[in-house]
Amino acid sequence: MGELKLSDYSSDIAILSPFLLIVSALAVPWVEVSLSSLVDALYFLLPWVLVVPLHEGLHALTVKLLRAKVRFGVTTIGKVALVPYVAVGTPLPAKRYTLVSLSPLVLSAISFSLAWALRSDFWALIYIFNTAGMAGDFLTALVLLKMPGDAKVFDEGTVLRSKNEMPRPYPLWVSSLLKALIVLAFLLVLFLGRVEVVVER
């Protein structure tokens, strides 16, 4: 019997999430973040607050469309970050569970399109935050895509189990590569000067 615990990959997720944030930010290069006033800070925080229910709502909607039961919960990644999640109360084939895992891509696609069409910082931030929040979803999908499509997956909230083997999402050396990529991405952002955070008292 195989299992996938995202907590076993918490350091990879902690690296992949800011990497996705940086890459997403580079895709909407006009965005500037200023925290010079309370209004600016709220404008920055509002998309982040909205992303959480929209992201988890897309997971839940996909589960319901697949006629499965939905459960909600909150867990921790590492020792600090509280992470809400949607659990599937009905066993699903790996192929269908992959759809559940990747369903928030719809929000990324819509918000990215609106960001470019309206030249909107608000929708750009929705896109950036949602995509960065998909680190665990992408990791889960990589595991599921390596399994037989009809293999039943049992969701216990923070652990996925199957009677089939649940392979590693990638070889161990990829974890080291992720660390190198986040450093490279950070240096790239500094070099290109795409992100400017201004804090005034």
Considering the entire predicted model, what is its pTM? 0.84
Number of Cβ atoms within 10 Å of the Cβ of 126: 25
Q: If you average pLDDT over every residue of the chain, what do you get? A: 87
Q: According to the model, what pLDDT value does residue 38 have? A: 80
Q: Among residues of the chain, what percentage have pLDDT more than 90? A: 56
Considering 6-20, 30-44, 124-138, 163-177, the range whose residues carry the highest mean pLDDT is: 124-138
29, burial (CB in 10 Å: exposed 0-12, middle 13-18, buried 19+)? exposed
Q: According to the model, what pLDDT value does residue 49 have? A: 92
For 148-199, give the DSSP string: -TT-EEEE-SSEEEESS----SS-THHHHHHHHHHHHHHHHHHHHT---EEE
Q: According to the model, what pLDDT value does residue 54 have? A: 96
More confident residue, 59 or 82: 59
